[in-house]
Structures are given as structure tokens and as C-alpha cells.
Amino acid sequence: MLSSPATSDTRDATSEASWIARTADAVIEHAKQTGATKLVCASGISPSGDIHLGNLREAMTAHLVAEELLARGLDAIHHHSWDDYDRFRKVPAGVPKQWAEHVGKPLAAIPDPAGEFESYAVRHMTRFTDALERLGVRMREVRQSVAYPDGTYNSQIRVALDRRGDIFDILETFQTEGRHETSVEERRAAYYPYKPYCEVCGKDSTEVTGWDGTNITYTCRCGHVGGHSLADGSQPSGKLVWKVDWPMRWAFEGVQFEPAGEDHHAPTSSFASGRVIIRALYDAEAPSTAVYSFVRPAGGGGKLSSSAGGAATPDTILAILEPPMVRWLYARRLPSNGFTIDLSPSAIVRLYDEWDRYSAKVAAGEASPTETHLHELCVQTHVGAVEQSARPVSFRLLSALVDITAGSTTQIARLLREQLTVEGTGQDVPETDDALLAELEPRLGNAIRYTESLPEGDRTIVRTEFNAEAWSGLDAATRDGVALLVDRMGENWTLPDLTTTVYAVPKLMVGLPADAEPTPELKKQQRTFFKALYQLLVSRDTGPRLPTLLLSLGPDRTRTLLTPS
């Protein structure tokens, strides 16, 4: 009988335990009831198009629960099914229209439009698994396009075909009345829970005509009449229909946990009917589960869809966010809570700030046990640390440095080395620029790609000389404010000091103390003053946050650009 080691008791004993810990508790209890000794956490994805961040929730939910179980010293595994034996339903956006001739064939049999991969399915699977590798997700992968033709499930398919009447009766109870023109008796007699792929045209436009306990026969719309054996050792070309395939694989793999989307958990959907089918046909129990909600793109759009094309994918978000941050997006929310993926420039910077504050809180020992637990799951897996920067310099600062240096890593290293020295942390900076830059990865590369993705109008070009024209347009009070700023900047060229100074000057300009609370009038005064500074520094009304911009420019260049000669 399965038991959880005592070491897990303190972690999970409180009501504040994370959803991951609570879900793991439920999996353990389910396994005790079923007598399972191996905890199989399953996920499955059909590579019908871009495998997007909504699909990632399926894999990440199973992964995080498996990691929790492994952390408790239990025998757990993340089992992933590639449903690449599913039919190609329609031509997604971005795929040539002539690919319509392949509709009805298995995804694994569809040619890669670019001719770079073994198939259309492998293209999308490879792109996804490469991203999962960076995210620290390790899975036991099974391709259904291999398992079915290899005869792996032949005995389970025979059970389903022998019990086709029982399956029909079960599924009938989950269907809405009045949807069919033919009688229940007619439909029951014609029902087969198995769809052959035609050996001539390769499509599933087939209709089963007979089953003798070993062999199945069919006709195809292409005109072919054929059949194949489902005896042990034979290699059939066909698969069970989805609502039977899923519970069959639960039983075959001994799945103890599998998350599923809201659509699969509706009262008449596949999970509900699967609970009944797995008991009736395979004398097993449906797994413990978690209902996850949809991940939606920013802007109020609908749920992400692979077949729609152009969806945000894990590799696109990993081009800008560090892997632990992507894990955090999923770990910090209940699976049932939907969320929006916002890759706008301001949202990315805010997310980095939030993650860095969270990490600092954990490092300082100020986080709750649940917060610390979630952070551990984000930065570490059972196979090792998840890729992240050894020196997590502020993303605001890095992106500003990239912006004003046009991505020159030599200049970035020089400016950053100067800043770290001012902050008093320069003593542990590597001697060579290459070593310093290596410590900044992958965050530096993310900052470079982030900056390159900004619209041309949002890129910053710092002036090389004093802007006399802009200065001449300033009133006397604003000129005095600029002079006051230069005078108060002093020698402490750090982000906190510069932030305090930049926001204090507009208050001092109107006779208020430097620590006065902001008012609407004061905020208006700040905007006017900041606009003047941006014009003097970058010949625009806006730009990177002024403290970050000044920090990246350094004291000498800042004074040159803000002081008339």
C-alpha cells in the first residue's frame, strides 16, 4: 500500500498549502484506494498546429504535481501522450491551402509544409519539447502514431469491439435527446467504437462493416473495401474513438492523475463518460483530476487554439521571459483560474519586477512556507536547477542599457560594471566582460530580443550633444529645476538614489518638501518636468524610466546633456 514519507507532513499540514501540494495529497489518496504503487501523472496533446501556452497548462499541471510527488520521495512519473494519430481536421492558418487534400489522414502522416521535419506533427512536437527542455519538464513520451500501428493496444481494442453495444448504451446516457433522426436500435446496431484508416487513401473516411472477434472489415468513401486483423502481434491501421480511447489508455498506463480542460469536464463530456467506460470495460478507475481553465491572449480574445494559427507558443515567451518565470505563471494560480497572457512591453517589465521582488523575499527568508515552496518548484526540478541568470540584474536596467547602446554587449558590460561598482557589489564581478555577460544569460538575451521587438518609435536614441533648441523653449522655472536636479544627483549613482532625486525635484520646484505626497496637480507638474528632461536627453517626450535612463547614461554624460555650455 502506498504511503507518503513523514518528511512531507509539515509541508502539507496547513490549509495554506499550495494547490500543487493539495492536488498531490489527492493523488496519493486516490492511489491508496486503487492499490497503485506507481503514481502516473498524465498529459496529452494533439499536435494539430502551434502548441500554444494554453496547451502548456496541460503539460505544466501534470509536471508540477509529479514534481511534488517526487519531492516527497514517491515513485512518480510524468507520462505524456502525443495524440499524433488523430485525424488532420482542417488546414490551419499559415499552412498552404492544398494541404486540404490531407484532411482525414493521421497527423503523423501529414507532410511538413516547410519540408524540414519528418511530418507536420513532428514539427510542432519538436518545437514544444525543445521549449519544455528549457522549462525543466521531463516526460516519458509516447506517440500514438507508433503505439496503435505497433499493436500495443490490440487486446484493449478487441474488448471495446466485443462490448460495442455496452459502450453505445453508456454514451447514449450522456447524449442530449432528440439529436438523431434514426432510432436508438438502428444506431446501436451500426455503432463501432473504432475508426480504421483506409489502406489505400490513408484517410479515416471509413465505415466499419463487420467484426468477427479478430478481424475488422470496412468500406471507404474512396471506394476501397478492406479490413485488417487485431490479433496480438498484428499491426492495424486505425484507432479507438476519443471517448473510448481516453479511458482505455487510463487503464493501460495505470494513470493516477490527469488534468483536463473545462470542456472535458462538462456533465456530458468525455471525462464523465470515461469514468463509466473504464469501470465497465477495463475494471479500473478513472484518475484523480484537476479542472484547468483556459489561457487567453491579451485584448479579450477567446481561448487559444492550435488550429487557428498564430497563437503564442512557449518558445515565443521564452525568448523574453526566463524559464522559472514561465513556470511561475502556471504554478502561482489555481488551475481552475483562467489567466491572460500579456506580452506587451509594459507588462513584461512589470512581470520581471514582480518576479525579482518575489525571489528577493524568498532569499531573505521573509516569504511564507507556501511562497517558498512554490518558488522552489519554479527554480528546481528533480533533475536539477532550471535555467536562470546567475546575476539577475534588473530587467528595466538591462533593457535600457540594450536600448541606449543599440545592443552593444561591450558597452553593456562596461556600463553595468560601473553600476555594480557604485552599488558596492563590484567586488564579485568577473574580471572579463565575457564572463560577466555569461552570468547575465538568459536575461540579457531576453532583454535584447525584447528591445528589438519594440516599435521603432519606442526605441531610444540618446543625444550626443546638448540640445540647445529644446533648452531655449523651456521657461525659467523648468531650467532652474533641471539645474537643481543636476546639483542634487551627487555621487551616489544608484537606482534608488536617482529615483528619489528625480521625483523630489518637481516637489521642490513648487515649494513642497521632497517627501510630500503626490497630488493630481503635482503629478501634472512632474509630467511637464519629465517631458523637458526627455527632450534634453533623447529628443522625445517620453522614453525609458528616467532613473533607469540616467543610471545607464552615467553621471558625466548626464551632466553634459543637462547642462548648457
Q: Are residues 196 and 272 in the same domain?
A: no
Q: Are residues 86 and 23 in the same domain?
A: yes
DSSP for residue 95 = S
More confident residue, 321 or 344: 321
Letter for the amino acid at 393?
V
Q: Are residues 57 and 131 in the same domain?
A: yes
C-alpha–C-alpha distance, residues 189 and 143, integer Å: 32
Neighbouring residues of 177: CB distance < 8 A, sequence distance ≥ 6: none
Q: What percentage of residues in the chain have a pLDDT greater than 90?
A: 72
The answer for 519, left when phi > 0, alpha when psi is -120 to 50, beta otherwise, is beta
* Chain mean position to CA 316: 9
pLDDT of 563 reads 94
Tell me the H-state helices in 341-408. Answer: 345-363, 369-379, 395-404
Q: How confident is the model at residue 5 (pLDDT cuts 50, 70, 90)?
A: very low
pLDDT of 102 reads 97
pLDDT of 406 reads 82
Q: What percentage of residues in the chain have a pLDDT greater than 70?
A: 93
Q: Are residues 339 and 195 in the same domain?
A: no
Residue 196's beta-bridge partner residues?
A: 238
Q: Has residue 252 been placed in a domain?
A: yes
Whether 8 has a pLDDT exceeding 50, the answer reads: no
pLDDT of 306 reads 43
C-alpha–C-alpha distance, residues 2 and 36, integer Å: 7
Q: How confident is the model at residue 274 (pLDDT cuts 50, 70, 90)?
A: very high
Task: Tell me the pLDDT tens digit for each residue of 23-55.
Answer: 999 999 999 999 999 999 999 999 999 999 989
Q: How confident is the model at residue 16 (pLDDT cuts 50, 70, 90)?
A: low
C-alpha–C-alpha distance, residues 461 and 470, integer Å: 16
Indicate which CATH number applies to the domain containing 492.
1.10.10
Q: Has residue 79 been placed in a domain?
A: yes
pLDDT of 311 reads 58
Whether 307 has a pLDDT exceeding 50, the answer reads: no
More confident residue, 553 or 127: 127
Segment of 113-127, 180-194, 422-436 carrying the highest mean pLDDT: 113-127
pLDDT mean across residues, the chain: 90
Last residue of a domain, one of 386, 412, 441: 386
Last residue of a domain, one of 437, 458, 479: 458
pLDDT of 414 reads 85
When pLDDT is averaged across residues 223-250 and rounded to a whole number, the result is 97
Q: Are residues 247 and 121 in the same domain?
A: yes
More confident residue, 214 or 306: 214
Q: Has residue 41 been placed in a domain?
A: yes
Q: Has residue 164 been placed in a domain?
A: no
When pLDDT is averaged across residues 424-450 and rounded to a whole number, the result is 90
DSSP for 213-267 reads SSEEEEEETTS-EEEEE-STT---SEEE-HHHHHHHHHHHHTEEE--EEGGGGST
Whether 14 has a pLDDT exceeding 50, the answer reads: no
| Full residue range of the structural domain in which residue 485 is found | 468-562
Cα torsion angle, 154, 159, 164, 168, sign: negative
Whether 280 has a pLDDT exceeding 70, the answer reads: yes
When pLDDT is averaged across residues 111-132 and rounded to a whole number, the result is 96
pLDDT of 178 reads 64
Q: How confident is the model at residue 141 (pLDDT cuts 50, 70, 90)?
A: very high
H/E element holding 196? strand 194-196
Neighbouring residues of 513: CB distance < 8 A, sequence distance ≥ 6: 507
Q: Has residue 169 been placed in a domain?
A: no
pLDDT of 2 reads 62
Q: Are residues 231 and 249 in the same domain?
A: no
C-alpha–C-alpha distance, residues 391 and 233, integer Å: 56
Q: Are residues 558 and 492 in the same domain?
A: yes
Q: Are residues 213 and 315 in the same domain?
A: no
Q: Has residue 272 been placed in a domain?
A: yes
Q: Are residues 178 and 281 in the same domain?
A: no
DSSP for residue 516 = P
Number of structural domains (the chain) is 4
Task: Tell me the pLDDT tens digit for each residue of 162-218.
Answer: 999 999 999 999 887 767 778 899 999 999 999 999 999 999 999 999 999 999 999
Q: Are residues 248 and 128 in the same domain?
A: yes
Q: Are residues 110 and 63 in the same domain?
A: yes
Q: Are residues 213 and 78 in the same domain?
A: no
Q: Has residue 411 been placed in a domain?
A: yes
CB 16 within 8 A of CB 370: yes
Whether 376 has a pLDDT exceeding 60, the answer reads: yes
pLDDT of 58 reads 95
Last residue of a domain, one of 367, 386, 405: 386
Indicate which CATH number applies to the domain containing 132.
3.40.50.620
Q: Which region among 174-188, 394-408, 475-489 has the lowest average model confidence (pLDDT)?
A: 174-188
Q: Has residue 45 been placed in a domain?
A: yes
H/E element holding 201? none
